[in-house]
Structure 1
Amino acid sequence: MHSKTYILISFHTAELGNPDIVFLISIVLAFTFIMFLTCEILLQGSLRDHSEPNDEYVIPHGDWFEIVSSPHYLAEIVIYAGLVVASGGTDLTIWLLFGFVVSNLVLAAAETHRWYLQKFESYPKKRLAIIPFAY
């Protein structure tokens, strides 16, 4: 099995031309996978923490929800950025997909953030919409 892995890595190295690029892509893909898991943990943890049933909407909290209103959207953008890097960054279709995803999720995060601020007087004013310390 070790030789098959080596052949796969050799194929990608020959295709991309530089073993450092293959290593970088591997790191980005690993980071992307970690972001995906973080996204799942965020959604499961902050929204399902409450032991008692509640009919009212609960403001998400904990982890990245303390910094931005839609960290799950940010994690998804990072996942798609990993797809761009994994493709080598030369495929126009992947770039167009990435552009659509980013614009769609940034717009959705902005609207979600605006709704939180209008609906809840106690909503933390320091939270931003999607990008930590920027937007």
Structure 2
Amino acid sequence: MIEALTKMELGLVELLRAAWIAGTLPILVASIPSSRLNSFHGALLGFAKRGKTMQSSSHGSFYTAAPLSLCINCIPEVLKFATGRVAEFIVKGRDRMQIIEFDWWEYVNPLTKLGLCQWIGAAIFIWGWIHQHRCHAILVIVTLCYDKLLGSLREHTEQTDEYVIPHGDWFEFVSSPHYLAEIVIYAGLLVASGGSDLTIWLLFGFVVANLVFAAAETQRWYLRKFDNYPRNRRTILPFVY
């Protein structure tokens, strides 16, 4: 049984790694500034449904494998526990199964044994989550104001595209701070993992490639739409890009 679980884990690890590589490479290719790749760039953008013009914050199909990638090292223990309980249920029946008692200290105690990487990673994760929440709130307010304005003008059969420039929090530095915050969140997870798992590195690489690609489209949309758009506002990395 243990040998079978080990083989299953290895197969799943290789599958996840292949999936992250397969998801990252097309984005990197589409990001190359070449006119020959314009059609491929447009097709990938439509598939990803990212960027301001798409009005979407969907993670895409690949993100469904993210929790699995982060918890890959725990899978054998989980499967071993689950199969053990199923076997016990089959042999003994429900009435004769051992009752599992939950000891809260048993779950809290491991927190006292966390290393420096785990605490730093948790702090980075929380920092990113707070700013992502704030930036999404700013976008929601901007979108609601825009929709309300459109509704009032439709009553007078007029048209407008007065979408305002978002301000506040990390919007003062980059055009896609919610994407930047998401990268920070995954960076926290990477640090907390200790940085020794290739699967998590590939996951992080996909996240960065995907969000930078989307942020570049968002930046182009803002620059086309607003003549007075802040020229010192970077795409996704403050003071860099």
State the TM-score, normalized to the length of structure 2: 0.47
1:34 to 112, 121, 127: 127
Matches within 5 A, 1:9-88: 9-10=112-113, 12=114, 22-45=115-138, 47-48=140-141, 53-55=148-150, 56=161, 57-88=163-194
Q: 2:128 touches 2:181 (CA, 8 Å); kept in 1?
A: yes
More helix by share: 2
Q: 1:106, 1:131 → 2: CA distance?
A: 9
Worse-matched range after superposition: 64-73 or 84-93: 84-93
Q: 2:124 touches 2:187 (CA, 8 Å); kept in 1?
A: no
The structure having more radius of gyration, on CA atoms, is: 2
Q: 1:60, 1:83 → 2: CA distance?
A: 28
Runs of 5+ consecutive residues of structure 2 not aligned to the other structure: 1-103, 151-160
Q: 1:87, 1:62 → 2: CA distance?
A: 32
Structure 1, residues 55-104: CA drift from partner, whole Å, max 9, x if none?
33222111211111011111100111111111121111111110000011
Displacement over 3 Å in runs of 4+: 1-10, 49-52
Q: 1:47 touches 1:58 (CA, 8 Å); kept in 2?
A: no
Number of matched pairs: 125
Q: 1:123, 1:74 → 2: CA distance?
A: 19
Q: Give % identity.
A: 54
State the TM-score, normalized to the length of structure 1: 0.79
Find the counterpart in structure 2 of residue 105 from structure 1.
211
Worse-matched range after superposition: 68-77 or 40-49: 40-49
CA shift, 1:31, in A, is 2.7
1:114 to 220, 226, 233: 220
CA shift, 1:107, in A, is 1.2
1:129 and 2:235 aligned: yes
Find the counterpart in structure 2 of residue 5 from structure 1.
108
Find the counterpart in structure 1 of residue 57 from structure 2.
none
Find the counterpart in structure 2 of residue 93 from structure 1.
199
SS in 2 for 1:48: helix
Worse-matched range after superposition: 122-131 or 52-61: 52-61
